[in-house]
Structures are given as C-alpha cells and as structure tokens.
Chains A and B, each alone.
Chain A
C-alpha cells in the first residue's frame, strides 16, 4: 500500500507557518494607563546589581512608599551586572518591561526609540518634578533624536581610579602624586615599565571610548550622527598607547581583558592602576589586605578638566498599566531625601538640586573617604558622560577590535580609527 506522506508532513508545517505569521514581534497594541490618575495597583521596580549590598535600603524605600501610598504594591527585582542589556531586551520583546526600570542613557535610547519608555517632558504628571533635579542631570537623560528626557535622574558616579602605591614607590614615583593628565600618565608608565625587578604593567586594558573623551578627542559631531574620534587628536592618543603597549606598559592580555579580568590583575598586583567602583574597596580589604594598605584612590587622568561621569536613571514603562503609581514611585526613589540617603551609604552622588551644597559633600571631615568624597563632588560640577548615548555595544566592540589591531601593529592608528569610525557610522546609518 502506498504511504501518503504529504499530508502528515504538511500539518505541522502549516501549523508552524500559522504561528510564524501570527506571532512575529510587533506592536502589542497595549498603550498603558494614564499617568494623571491616583497612584494605585501592583508595579514592578527593577534595579541593576544593587541587591547584594543595599537590600535593606531598598526594602526600606519600598516599605515607606507603600505606607505613603497604601493602594500601591511594589515588587522589587534586581538583575546582575552582566548581560543587563540582554535581560532588558528580552523583557521589552516579551512585553514585560518592569514599570519602573533602572537605566543608563545608552540603555534607555533604544527602548525610547521603540516607544517603550515614557517621555517625561511630555507627561505633565512627570514633567512637574523637573525642577527638583539639576539641569545637567535632567539634560543627561534627554536623548539625541528624541525630544525630551526619558528617565528621572538618579545617582551619579565618577568612578575612582585605584593605584598601587607600593608599585609606584618601586618605580621611584611619588605615591602621593598619581598622574592627573595623560602626559603624566604616559611619563609614569615609562618609569613603571623600567622599574627594577618589576613585571607590573601600568594598565590592564586598551583605551575605550571614555579614554578618548578624557583625552579631549571630539567623539561625535554635534547632532550625534557621525563618529569623529578618528580626528588627529584621537590618532595621537592611540599612537601614544601603541608606544606604551610596545614598552610593556599594558598588561600582556590587555587586548582580551574584560573589566572583571582587569580588576583581577590589579588585585593580584600585576598592574599598577585600574578604574573601579566603591564596591571594590571591600573586595580589596577582604582578598588583598596587602594591596589595601597601599591603595591609592584618585580620579582617572584627563586633559579636559572634566572627569567622566556615569549617569543612572529610573525610567517608566510606556506600557505600564499603572503609570500614575510608577511615576510616583520613580519620583519617590529619585527625590532629594532618598537620593541623599542612598549617597550616604555608598560613594555615589545625588542628582537633585542643592544636594551637593550639603556640608557632607563640601567639608573635608579628615578621613580618607571624606577627602575623596569632597574632591569628587567638586569635580562633578564639570563632569561629562563621555560615552555617546547612540553608541551600541556592537559599535564599542568595533572600536575595541580596531584599537587592538593598531596596538598589535597590524594597522596604523590612523587607519584603525578611520575603519572603526566608518564601520560604526554605517551601523548608525542603518538605525
């Protein structure tokens, strides 16, 4: 008997094709609720790697908010540091973006462009809080190509640069005078590379976009449509890094090191300087007490007088079913009182108007932490978020790979940066 094969095969194929045509990504039609109404309902609040150190603080914030707004219930979720963008894209694609979500401007840009975040300037219920934040912080969340701010300004961080005083002494450098400009950095690197008996490199990573910014390179044109880091100043910086790499001033694995690996190299005292965050202090104290005793803390060198600043914000989902509650909560967390309270717990800075005039950030209390805090707060006035908002992870990888080719001598610095800018501009054009 002949076997009829076509129909049995066709059934699942057709069913799958039906799924394909029906389930493609697209607008789910959900428009969210009104932001003007009374705050009520269940909302989700997502932070970025904060549970481990600040669980009690956030539990307290949620408790206080729920007391103030008894009709609102807040579910707090926290995501690990790695792959946060992937987590956000999965949530956004699945229509499950949390009502209030912790973002930096480069993360909020694609979400806002896809219409998934609330334009705070256009939403009266949110725009009325604008004057509570410093104009720079609010402006920091205004995205190029989109009119308006898409996140409430939250904490600011300049991120300290740690250095190993013992390695400085060994190289004959003054451990109390870390390099403040790139000229000083490259001069110090020369001494460190020639230190007797030392195999320590100066830095564990190749230059990234922030380094170009701090060096004074123009990164993008004014309307953020073209990368310009291949201008002569950028080529000059890469040329100097190439010399540093050739002299052994960069770790041998600098071209492949991730920030975590770079941190590990510093911990093992294989490199003399490494950027980090306040969380690292505890790690040094526990895992490398020898290093902790000889730890120097300073700002990353810059030629512009403006340190790099990381900006954190809280965005409200445009699709939220409880927008009024979400706006109220985002404002509650980023309001002056909460921000100052949070900034007392960890070395970050509030973005609310008038906060940095508080003696806590203006008067040196004689402790190491106090000295760093006051110095950093002063620097914050002119600080800039150097990472262009439109620069995607893929564009950062393009730059990193071309920089690596220049350092290896496979391309001249000029050619490498021209190629990186051309590839990134092509990606930018495709949208």
Chain B
C-alpha cells in the first residue's frame, strides 16, 4: 500500500466503528422513516408506495391538529420559562453565600431524577385528594381537578417540564456567568446602575449566546415532549385525547400489532421538519441580535 493510499484510508478506518454505529442506529432508522412515510406499511407488513396519501390523511386528521396545537403551545409557554428562570436561579446560586452548595445540588436533583418518578410524584401531589388540593382545602378553596381537566393537565405537564429542566439549564448559565468580567458590573455600579439595570444591560448581553443555545435546546425538547404528558395525562392523552402531543400521536398510531407505521412515519417527518425550522429560527434570531 502506497503511503498516499495509507494516508487517505487511515482516517476512514479510525472513523469506521463510530460511523457504523451512526449508520445503524441513526442514519438507517432516519432514512427508513423517510421511506416509510410514503408507504402504507403496518407493523407486520412492509406496505406499498402511496405517494403523499399519508400527508393528505394528516391534514384531515382532527387528532393531528390537536397534537400540533399542543406541541406548539408547549414551545410557546415552556421556552420563555426555561430561558429566563434558570438564568435567575444561576445568578442566585452564583453568590458566595453560606450553604449555597446545598441549594445548587437541590436545584439540580430533578435533572438526575427519573422523569417517571418525578411525574408520579406530581400526579400524587395534584390528585383530587393530593397535597395541593389538601392545602387548597385548608385555605377554603378547591378542589381543583388538575388531572381531570384537559387544559389544567397540559399546564401541569408544562410546569413539570420547566421544573425538571431548571437545574440543567442553570448549570449551563453558571458556566457562562463565570466568564462575565466582574469589572463590567463594577463599572456599571459606579455609573449608578441598580441591580435590575445591571441585569438588563450587563448580564443579559454577556450571556446572550448562551440564552440562544438554551432557547434552541429547550424549544426542540419542548416540541418533542412525550414522557411528561404521557405519564400525567395517560396513554389516551388526557380527556378525549385533548392533551395529545405529536410524539404521543406517533407512538399511538405506529405501535402495537396493528400499528400504522407508514402514517406514524409521516407524522415523524413533519415533527423533524418543524424541529429543524425551529432550530434555524432560534439560531437566526441569535445571529441577528449579535449583528
């Protein structure tokens, strides 16, 4: 083997194990999903080419529009909280106060907890005879049917998502805040800027790129939400399926012995395209801000 061929092949050989894993577990399933989206494949039958039929059916499927609305709302309502609250939390635990390490760990605990366990605890708390309604009862209010009303269920699931993500994004912000020069704050303070002014004019511009990153990450995660809603609203997606999200719809239509794999693949493709657009939108917004 010539030295030139050797040099050309070596990187590929080194990459091969990694590429094989990516090809088998990411690329192949992705391409297979794209292919199946244009077929009437079922769980146990390969299906035949049906062109855009699945997408036509999607447009007429009431459940699809409900799911699209819920996933969209999830992004609109969850992302602002996951961008701002962790930043405030990071500012709080950044201070060198006695016992602050405990709070840092406590805020991070939900991140390492299993989503199933966390959701179960929330379900117990929000039950008609749970902790929250118990407290409301003492105050002479309630009971509030958190788990029986479609909107309250969706909002509760959103709250769980925000609560569970706080610690994770807080750590990202802590790293970014460490890079904000102290002199900037001191200079602003000397110029008479108060805490709020320093937050808006110094902290936010300094961590803007991190906010864009957190925005991109959390909006993609929010759009693809499954576990929180599935665990709190049940497999049918809340009363009359009104809390179904897009990924839940993929799971419901595409699994089981009669699963409509082709149709579920078409929904997956829609989720993929919207997620991609969402990412591009957030990144572009970040770039425009920087410019």
Q: Interface residues, chain A, CB within 8 Å of chain B?
A: 11-13, 15-17, 19-20, 23-26, 85-86, 88-89, 92-93, 107, 110-111, 113-114, 116, 252-258, 261, 268, 270, 392-394, 397, 400-402, 404-405, 408, 410, 430-431
B45 interfacial by beta-carbon distance below 8 Å: yes
B45→A19 contact, CB < 8 A: no
B256→A89 contact, CB < 8 A: yes
B240→A410 contact, CB < 8 A: yes
Q: List 28 A-B contacts (CB under 8 A).
A: A19-B23, A20-B32, A25-B44, A88-B257, A89-B256, A89-B257, A92-B257, A110-B43, A110-B258, A111-B257, A113-B44, A116-B44, A253-B145, A255-B148, A255-B240, A256-B147, A256-B148, A256-B236, A258-B235, A392-B257, A393-B256, A393-B258, A394-B253, A397-B252, A402-B240, A404-B236, A408-B239, A430-B260
Within the assembled complex, what's the spacing in Å between the Cα atoms of A253 and B147? 6
B19 interfacial by beta-carbon distance below 8 Å: yes
Within the assembled complex, what's the spacing in Å between the Cα atoms of A19 and B32? 9
The verdict on A256 contacting B239 (CB below 8 Å), with A85-B257, A114-B45 known, is yes
Q: Looking at A16, A19, A113, which has the most chain B CB atoms within 10 Å of its CB? A: A16
B31→A16 contact, CB < 8 A: yes
The verdict on A256 contacting B153 (CB below 8 Å), with A16-B31, A401-B240 known, is yes
Cβ contacts B11-47/A at 8 Å (1 or 0 each):
0100000010011100110011001000011111110
> Contacts of B32 on A, CB cut-off 8 Å?
20, 24
A394→B256 contact, CB < 8 A: yes
Q: Looking at B22, B129, B235, which has the most chain A CB atoms within 10 Å of its CB? A: B235
A89→B28 contact, CB < 8 A: no
B255 interfacial by beta-carbon distance below 8 Å: yes
> Contacts of A11 on B, CB cut-off 8 Å?
12
8 tightest A-B CB contacts, nearest first: A404-B240, A255-B239, A392-B258, A114-B44, A110-B257, A401-B241, A16-B27, A256-B234
> Contacts of B35 on A, CB cut-off 8 Å?
20, 24
B110 interfacial by beta-carbon distance below 8 Å: no
A394→B31 contact, CB < 8 A: no
> Contacts of B241 on A, CB cut-off 8 Å?
397, 401, 404
> Contacts of A12 on B, CB cut-off 8 Å?
19, 22-23, 27
* Distance from A259 Cβ to chain B, minimum over Cβ atoms (Å): 11
The verdict on A89 contacting B235 (CB below 8 Å), with A20-B28, A20-B31, A430-B40 known, is no
B interface, over-half SS: loop
| Minimum CB distance partner of B262 in chain A | A430
> Contacts of B129 on A, CB cut-off 8 Å?
268, 270
Within the assembled complex, what's the spacing in Å between the Cα atoms of A32 and B32? 28
B258→A394 contact, CB < 8 A: yes
B259 interfacial by beta-carbon distance below 8 Å: yes
Within the assembled complex, what's the spacing in Å between the Cα atoms of A13 and B30? 11
Interfacial residues of chain B within 159-185, with CB under 8 A of chain A in the complex: none
A85→B256 contact, CB < 8 A: yes
B239→A404 contact, CB < 8 A: yes
The verdict on A107 contacting B148 (CB below 8 Å), with A256-B233, A401-B241, A408-B240 known, is no
> Contacts of A258 on B, CB cut-off 8 Å?
234-235
In the complex, besides A15-B23, A19-B24, A400-B236, 16 extra interface pairs with C-beta distance below 8 angstroms are A19-B28, A25-B45, A89-B43, A89-B255, A89-B257, A107-B257, A111-B257, A114-B45, A253-B145, A255-B240, A268-B129, A392-B257, A394-B256, A402-B240, A408-B240, A430-B40
| Minimum CB distance partner of B261 in chain A | A25
> Contacts of B145 on A, CB cut-off 8 Å?
252-253
Within the assembled complex, what's the spacing in Å between the Cα atoms of A20 and B44? 17
Within the assembled complex, what's the spacing in Å between the Cα atoms of A11 and B127? 54
Within the assembled complex, what's the spacing in Å between the Cα atoms of A397 and B24? 33
> Contacts of B45 on A, CB cut-off 8 Å?
25, 114
Within the assembled complex, what's the spacing in Å between the Cα atoms of A107 and B256? 9
The verdict on A111 contacting B27 (CB below 8 Å), with A255-B240, A256-B147, A392-B258 known, is no
Within the assembled complex, what's the spacing in Å between the Cα atoms of A212 and B158? 36
Within the assembled complex, what's the spacing in Å between the Cα atoms of A13 and B22? 11
Cβ contacts B126-150/A at 8 Å (1 or 0 each):
0111000000000000000101100
B238 interfacial by beta-carbon distance below 8 Å: yes
| Minimum CB distance partner of B258 in chain A | A392
> Contacts of A255 on B, CB cut-off 8 Å?
148, 238-240
